[in-house]
Amino acid sequence: MRSMPYSKKVIQHFKNPHNQGVIKNADAVGKVGNPVCGDVMKIYIKIGRKKVDKGGKAQEGKDFIKDIKFETLGCAAAIAVSSALTDIVKGKTLDEALKITKDKIVKDLGGLPAPKVHCSMLGIEALHKAIENYKNKIIK
């Protein structure tokens, strides 16, 4: 069985991952794992507040992802997905970040071999969990 090679972008993200590490005072953390392949992803987020100025009037700011880091224990695809995902969502509002799809990540990476596409879903799930954890904290 021949496997599809990884794209150059996947290999770049795997060899030199962006935003890898821990945010010690993170506002929230999302952790997910896949029992089938054994991959585990942890996404740390630090939230900032954007001032929204409409017609010269200061309004309520929107929460945005000021900083994001990840720890991933997994294959090259899982690490590349984590790296690409953090690049894509940094600076976005929480609502914008929640709209990012696995297809956007796969496209950004120049594709993934079919057996590795599930890694992109793992990244999305970890991000959603981190945002959900943050929202649950501020509601309490």
How far are the Cα atoms of 19, 53, 130 from residue 61, in angstroms, in the given order? 25, 9, 20
- List the one residue out of 131, 107, 127 whose CA is nearest residue 117: 107
Out of 85, 112, 119, 126, which one is annotated catalytic? 119
**Which pair of tokens denotes residue 136?**
């649950």
Q: Does residue 75 carry a catalytic annotation?
A: no
Out of 11, 37, 75, 76, which one is annotated catalytic? 37
Q: Does residue 119 carry a catalytic annotation?
A: yes
**Which pair of tokens denotes residue 43?**
């996404």
Query: Which residues have a catalytic role annotated?
Result: 37, 119
